[in-house]
Chains A and B, each alone.
Chain A
Amino acid sequence: KAGVTQTPRYLIKTRGQQVTLSCSPISGHRSVSWYQQTPGQGLQFLFEYFSETQRNKGNFPGRFSGRQFSNSRSEMNVSTLELGDSALYLCASSFGGMNTEAFFGQGTRLTVV
């Protein structure tokens, strides 16, 4: 079966701009989680969506937002980009139950200049 697809793979933006990242989960998966990965901080949880509702949220500022559509595809938006937002953004999909295996996409590498 097709894996988790994230688009675009690479992105370069200027400070102050906004960006939207997309994640298409594995068919049948209703949960999509987003993570920010940097060398110094590791994997940081942003938020989780399940059946179009945000079910969990990490400790990121309000500039980071997301949504999920009825087909489970999810988007993440970052407004007013800062240099520190440069990172690999990963999404992971799962069936959404407790203690279930998550499947990660290859990520979107965002560079803010």
Chain B
Amino acid sequence: QQPVQSPQAVILREGEDAVINCSSSKALYSVHWYRQKHGEAPVFLMILLKGGEQKGHEKISASFNEKKQQSSLYLTASQLSYSGTYFCGTEHAGNNRKLIWGLGTSLAVNP
């Protein structure tokens, strides 16, 4: 079951914050976050594990809500370089290493 990402798209001004959610209908084991800029390869941001703590990468952090089967990606004080499409890949118990990806959230940061 493909995870649902919301919102589908967001436009920010430099310095603003954003939250991207990734929800699954199945019990999550881990959530992987990647960012892909237009015409480039997806780049790893972080992995959230079930029972694990909130992770951070520069001013980008993420959390894992086991009760809601959801992960949220927090982008604070956004920079122009944050523009791109953010994907979450979910891993479920018994399906190890086989990631199912959301359709992505397009983020545009304007000056």
Contact = CB atoms under 8 A, between A and B. Distances in A.
A76 B49 CA distance: 30
Contacts of A107: 41
A107 B42 CA distance: 10
A58 B102 CA distance: 15
Interface stretch (A12-20, A63-71, A94-102): A94-102
Contacts of B91: 99
A55 B97 contact: yes
Contacts of B98: 45, 48, 56, 58
Contacts, number: 49
Contacts of B58: none
A45 B41 contact: no
Nearest to B95: A56
Contacts of B101: 35, 42-45
B49 A90 contact: no
A109 to B, nearest CB: 10
B41 A106 contact: yes
Contact of B42 (A56, A58, A90): A90
Contacts of A48: 97-98
A21 B104 CA distance: 25
Interface of A: 3-4, 35, 41-45, 48, 55-56, 58, 90, 92, 98-99, 101-107
